[in-house]
Amino acid sequence: MKFAQIIDFETERIDEVRDLLRAYEERARSEGRTGAPTSRTLLKDRANPHRYLAVVEFDSHEGAMANSNAPETNELAQRLSALMTRPTVYTDCDVQDQQN
């Protein structure tokens, strides 16, 4: 079953966040890392200009957990947390239905 994680965060440095995410994703693709995200959508809250939601999809919960435990992911999380104005909130979800 597909798995998605919603990452709720606030930052005043979104361009730096985007740069870190893109570099991480490019590295994961070039290395062919198992469990890497299959897609990511970044949403901006209209009511709060510093609040964002990232919806990150994976092929499975197990793949997501393997990705979460990778040293590269831990390094990314540490670098991203330095750019946040409040603690990040994670919501884990099983994808029930999807339409593109």
The whole-number pLDDT of residue 17 equals: 97
Share of the chain above pLDDT 70, in %: 100
- Quick one: DSSP state of residue 84? B
Distance CA 15, CA 12 (A): 9
Pairing of strands 39-44, 89-94: unpaired
Domains with residue ranges and CATH for the chain: 3-94 (3.30.70.100)
| Residue 51, C-beta contacts closer than 8 angstroms, at least 6 positions apart | 8, 9, 10, 44, 45
Residue 75 pLDDT class (50, 70, 90 cuts): very high
Output the pTM of the full model: 0.89
- Written as six digits, the tokens of 26 are 């490019």
Mean pLDDT of 50-79: 94
Q: What is the pLDDT of residues 17-54, one digit of tens each?
A: 999 999 999 888 888 887 889 999 999 999 999 999 99
Quote the tokens at residue 97.
């239905």
Structure token pair of residue 9: 């965060």
Q: Is pLDDT at 62 greater than 80 in this prediction?
A: yes
